[in-house]
């Protein structure tokens, strides 16, 4: 059943991609590697267990949130994005695949991280979004429980980004727990897993646009 749902999701993305820019990857086999397998790699390395609330920030076309939701029907997945038309497409996916464990949220992450229903409410926070590490961490820290885990998808340039993130880690009270190196389709990837040492200062994240324009 999982494979059928993953295949249907893939078909829907590639079909919609003809009229909406969802992905630059249109070869079906490459899509499996770069999107589906890359999303599901988290199943091998994160302690996902029944009842968890998991946030996918900047989900885009639904990665990694939708594949993870398909493989973990006993967890609650919250997918966030600032582009409403992409979320409308994901809503079509949710209805077509009858994914009752998925919730969608439209808006700026800097704003939503301050709302009581999202503030430090998630066991695991993940993001495949392309952004500098200090910016991503400021977005993600507000959603994670103090006991939660923050996981960023990164390239082999991660160590360079980490060197530029000392201030962000200190200001956000985060620590690097571990990294996981893996290869998909002859491309090197890194999963960086962070933990919170205490509740986040109420000033973070800063107002919309500030993390990007003035990174910590």
User: Phi, psi at residue 57, to the nearest 5°?
Assistant: -95, 130
Closest among 62, 129, 59, 64 to 93, alpha carbons compared: 62
Split into its structural domains, the chain has a count of 1
Percent of the chain with pLDDT over 90: 89
48, 72 contact by CB (below 8 A): yes
Q: How confident is the model at residue 129 (pLDDT cuts 50, 70, 90)?
A: confident
165: tokens are 């993130």
pLDDT digits (tens, 9 = 90+) for 10-31: 999 999 999 998 998 888 898 8
Note the pLDDT of residue 28. Answer: 87
Note the pLDDT of residue 210. Answer: 96
Domain extent at residue 111: 2-197
Closest among 40, 38, 73, 79 to 56, alpha carbons compared: 79
pTM of the model: 0.95
Cβ-based burial of 95 (10 A; exposed 0-12, middle 13-18, buried ≥19): exposed
Would 208 be classed as within a structural domain?
no
Would 202 be classed as within a structural domain?
no
142, 207 contact by CB (below 8 A): no
Residue 130 pLDDT more than 90? Answer: no
Q: CATH number for the domain including 44?
A: 3.40.50.150
pLDDT, averaged across the chain = 95
pLDDT digits (tens, 9 = 90+) for 103-116: 999 999 999 999 99
């Amino acid at each position: 059943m999982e494979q059928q749902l993953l295949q249907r999701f893939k078909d829907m993305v590639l079909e919609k991609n003809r009229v909406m820019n969802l992905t630059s990857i249109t070869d079906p086999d490459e899509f499996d590697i770069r999107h589906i397998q890359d999303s599901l790699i988290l199943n091998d390395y994160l302690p996902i267990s029944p009842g968890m609330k998991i946030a996918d920030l900047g989900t885009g076309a639904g990665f990694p949130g939708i594949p993870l939701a398909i493989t973990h029907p006993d967890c609650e997945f919250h997918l966030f994005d600032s582009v409403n038309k992409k979320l409308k497409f994901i809503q079509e996916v949710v209805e077509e695949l009858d994914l009752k464990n998925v919730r969608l949220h439209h808006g700026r992450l800097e704003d939503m991280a301050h709302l009581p229903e999202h503030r430090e409410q998630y066991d695991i926070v993940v993001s495949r979004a392309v952004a500098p590490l200090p910016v991503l961490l400021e977005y993600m820290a507000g959603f994670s429980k103090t006991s939660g885990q923050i996981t960023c998808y990164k390239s082999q340039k991660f160590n360079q980004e980490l060197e530029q993130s000392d201030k962000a880690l200190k200001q956000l009270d985060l620590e690097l727990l571990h990294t996981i190196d893996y290869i998909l389709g002859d491309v090197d990837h890194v999963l960086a897993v962070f933990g919170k040492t205490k509740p986040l200062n109420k000033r973070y994240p800063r107002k919309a646009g500030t993390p990007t324009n003035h990174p910590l």
